[in-house]
Amino acid sequence: MIADYFKSKKIVISAGPTYEKLDPVRFIGNYSTGKMGYALATELANLGADVHLVSGPTALSIDHPSITLYRIESALEMYDICVREFQNADIAIMSAAVADYRPEHYNDIKIKKNEEILTINLVKNPDILATLGKSKKSGQIVVGFALETHNEIENATEKLHRKNADAIVLNSLNDAGAGFKHSTNKITIILQKGRIFEFGLKDKTAVAKDIVTCISENFN
């Protein structure tokens, strides 16, 4: 039974975008809505899991007695909470669209429009998925997400191994109705040892059920 598998398990989920501040009014971000992560959190909480949802800025709200919500803005904030909460968790599902880079310097005052060309130095953010994959203990499961535009299966499989994840949920921007800004998604789940499961275009609530079912059937 799926519910029996997840009952009382601690699950850390990341969702939404991160905002990397340039100055008090501007940031570097992306189009993630957080819908996929929130759907996963709701599905798992309904199955009896103890869900810890680390959410970037989003218009979504969530209210469930089994969900602890952490609202953050930056990749560094998300990193700190995910790493801390994963130490005694059973499963991590990293569905957030985390910024790979952040501005090297934050300006305390608004950057004025003075120059024809503005150069901003960016520094790499810590890799949350890779950190969890490297630190996981026996019995812990790490699931990542990959949004690809070309060579989708090859790139996602390489990410699976490079980051020592147990599964990668792949979506492609080449699929209509998938990726950011949609209420639907079309996914392929890639597991270790070359196991691949493909799913059709579905509402993200149904996609969450597919992901949860795949985890319970392959890691039970």
- Catalytically annotated residues: 30
Q: Record the tokens describing residue 215, joined without a space.
A: 């985890």
**CA 100/CA 127 separation, integer angstroms:** 8
d(CA 170, CA 69): 25
Query: Could you tell me the two tokens for 112?
Result: 């004025």
Buried b (16+ CB within 10 A) or exposed e, 171-210: bbeebeebbbebebbbbbbbbeeeeebebeebebbebbbb
d(CA 199, CA 206): 10
In this structure, the strands spanning 167-172 and 196-198 are unpaired
